[in-house]
């Protein structure tokens, strides 16, 4: 095989990027004043996040409450406008796309919300809830009812559920309706905002199994947001760990659980309960204390240094770049865990932003959903 043909074969076998997020920032203004609004500060909700999601992949995003997970995925589907950065979906730049331009994009990119009760219209029956996206997509009226029945079957519900209202269902059933609504327009990507956090453990397992089955049937890609690493572990191919608006670690799921490189990741893993109490007592724990700092005034250097037991002077003054190691893991830490001297592969994956020198950024503005 020639060099050219070998390169072509390698390119053909490479995974196809579905969603590319490049240095995205989302800042919200803090207003003050009774008669005249004055901007007195900004909330750094998402601060310089770079991610890539591939076709057929599940990327988990985890972190404590308030770390920017939900803000990030709402920005990716353009319910919020990014303050800075670029978002590309299937190769097309949607960062500044207007409402009409976003309509076909949102048919391929759907969202399932955390609270199924709040995300379903209480005044409409299930048949109407599922028929609406089909009608908006342009499906012929005569084909709507068969498609609605098929959607219910896909998510494990029965045709007699069509004439019920959302309040007549359990939490797990309501989330299945939300998933069916997302599937109605045949998307390529579904963004899942903590879809099982409000459900009982047994129901969580059923919904996760359903999501995996649907992914195999339709070749879907998922962005799965959660604060529970034990849940994300079962569904994700790769996991991004966020803290105070930034990605601290990004890795394949198995490697992350076996050898976390960032102390924050290790602390999240140590908090996962283990059924065997003897094993629970024997394992080493990475303990962090205190509360996360304010996103209005993030700490200098590494954002985790105020709670990190390994922090030194360099952590307090210099922000660590997102560095790639020999096993493919990325971690932003000056003192990474489980890393040998020969494992460093590249210097940095994080480029300096043109605004890092203190230039003013525009504020994030809500975008009206279509």
Tell me, yes or no, whether 208 and 336 share the same domain.
Answer: no
Q: Please indicate, yes or no, if residue 104 is contained in any of the structural domains.
A: yes
Q: Is the pLDDT of residue 329 over 70?
A: yes
**pLDDT-based confidence at residue 280 (cuts at 50, 70, 90):** low
Res. 187: pLDDT tops 70: yes
**Is 276 among the domain residues?**
no
| pLDDT score of 233 | 86
Q: Answer whether residue 12 shows pLDDT above 60.
A: no
Same domain, 243 and 336: no
Among 37-41, 72-76, 247-251, 280-284, the least confident range? 280-284
Per-residue pLDDT of 194-221, as tens digits, reads: 998 878 888 888 999 999 999 999 999 9
Residue 278, pLDDT > 70, answer no
Q: What angle do CA 257, 259, 261 make, to 5 degrees?
A: 110
Bigger pLDDT: 119 or 62? 62
Same domain, 111 and 40: yes
Share of the chain above pLDDT 70, in %: 84
Whether residue 56 has pLDDT greater than 70: yes
Mean model confidence pLDDT for the chain:
85
Mean pLDDT (whole number) for 245-253: 95
Does 97 share its domain with 150? yes
Report whether pLDDT(7) > 50.
Answer: no
| pLDDT of the residue at 229 | 83
Rg (CA), the chain: 22
Residues 195 and 99 in one domain: yes
pLDDT one-digit tens code per residue, 114-157: 888 888 999 999 999 999 999 988 899 899 999 999 999 999 99
Residue 343 placed within a domain: yes
So what's the pLDDT on residue 62? 95
Please tell me whether residue 274 adopts helix, strand or coil conformation: coil
Residues ≥6 apart with Cβ < 8 Å to 34: none
**Both 226 and 317 in a single domain?**
no
Range of the domain at 65: 14-258
255-259 mean pLDDT: 91
- Measured CA to CA, the distance from residue 187 to residue 102 in angstroms comes to 14
Residue range 299-317, pLDDT digits in tens: 999 999 999 988 999 999 9
Collapse the DSSP code of 348 into the 3-class scheme (helix H, G, I; strand E, B; otherwise coil) and give the result.
Answer: coil
CA distance 76 to 366: 13
Cα 338 from Cα 242, distance rounded (Å): 19
Residue 267 inside a domain? The answer is no
What's the angle, vertex CA 221, arms to CA 260 and CA 370, rounded to 5?
120
* Residue 249 pLDDT grade (very low, low, confident, very high; cuts 50, 70, 90): very high
Note whether 326 and 208 are same-domain residues.
no
Torsion of CA 101, 102, 104, 109, to 10 degrees: 160
Domain count of the chain? Answer: 2
Close Cβ partners of 204 (under 8 Å, ≥ 6 residues apart): 196, 231
Contact at 8 Å (CB) between 345 and 331? no
The answer, yes or no, to whether residue 298 has pLDDT greater than 80, is: yes
pLDDT, residue 352, reads 35
Burial of 196: CB neighbours in 10 Å, binned 0-12, 13-18, 19+: buried
Both 343 and 217 in one domain: the answer is no
Domain assignment present for 20 = yes
126, 233: one domain: yes
**Is residue 3 in a domain?**
no
Whether residue 349 lies inside any domain: the answer is yes
149 and 199 in one domain?
Answer: yes
Q: How far apart are CA 10 and CA 29, in angstroms?
A: 46
DSSP strand E in the chain: where? 17-32, 38-54, 58-62, 84-89, 92-93, 109-112, 189-193, 221-226, 238-243, 246-252, 323-324, 330-331
CATH assignment of the domain containing 216? 3.40.50.300
What's the pLDDT band for 283 if we cut at 50, 70, 90? low
**Is residue 233 domain-shared with residue 143, that is, in the same domain?**
yes
- Would 5 be classed as within a structural domain? no
Collapsed DSSP state (helix, strand, coil) of residue 272: coil
pTM as predicted: 0.85
Is residue 9 helix, strand or coil? helix
Q: What is the spatial distance between Cα 88 and Cα 233, in angstroms, rounded to a whole number?
A: 26
Question: Is there a contact between 221 and 54 (Cβ–Cβ < 8 Å)?
Answer: yes
For residue 6, what pLDDT is reported?
Answer: 43
Same domain flag for 50 and 152: yes
């Amino acid at each position: 095989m020639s060099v050219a043909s070998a390169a072509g074969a390698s390119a053909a076998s490479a995974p196809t990027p579905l969603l590319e997020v490049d240095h995205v920032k989302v800042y919200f203004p803090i207003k003050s004043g009774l008669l005249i609004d004055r901007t007195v500060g900004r909330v750094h909700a998402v601060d310089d996040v770079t991610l890539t999601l591939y076709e057929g992949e599940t990327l988990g995003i985890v972190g404590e409450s308030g770390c920017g997970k939900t803000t990030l995925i709402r920005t990716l589907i353009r319910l919020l406008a990014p303050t800075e950065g670029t978002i590309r979906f299937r190769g097309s730049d949607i960062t500044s796309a207007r409402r009409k331009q976003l309509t076909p994009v949102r048919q391929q990119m759907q969202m399932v919300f955390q609270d199924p009760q709040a995300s379903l219209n209480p005044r409409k029956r299930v048949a109407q809830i599922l028929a609406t996206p089909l009608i908006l997509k342009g499906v012929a009226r005569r084909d709507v009812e068969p498609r609605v029945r098929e959607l219910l079957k896909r998510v494990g519900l029965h045709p007699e559920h069509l004439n019920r209202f959302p309040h007549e269902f359990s939490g797990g059933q309501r989330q299945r309706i939300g998933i069916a609504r997302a599937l109605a327009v045949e998307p390529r990507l579904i963004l899942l905002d903590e879809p099982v956090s409000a459900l009982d453990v047994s129901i969580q397992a059923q919904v996760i199994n359903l999501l995996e089955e649907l992914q195999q049937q339709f070749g879907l890609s998922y962005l799965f947001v959660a604060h529970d690493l034990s849940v994300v572990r079962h569904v994700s191919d790769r996991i991004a760990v966020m803290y105070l608006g930034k990605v601290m670690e990004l890795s394949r799921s198995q490697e992350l659980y076996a050898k976390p490189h960032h102390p924050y990741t290790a602390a999240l893993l140590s908090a996962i309960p283990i059924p065997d109490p003897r094993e629970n007592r024997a394992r080493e724990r990475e303990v962090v204390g205190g509360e996360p700092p304010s996103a209005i005034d993030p700490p200098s250097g590494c954002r985790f240094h105020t709670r990190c037991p390994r922090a030194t002077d360099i952590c307090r003054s210099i922000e660590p770049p997102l560095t790639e190691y020999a096993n493919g893991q990325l971690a932003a830490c000056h003192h990474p865990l489980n890393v040998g001297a020969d494992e460093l592969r590249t210097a940095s994956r994080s480029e300096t932003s043109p605004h890092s020198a203190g230039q003013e950024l525009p504020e994030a503005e809500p975008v009206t959903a279509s």
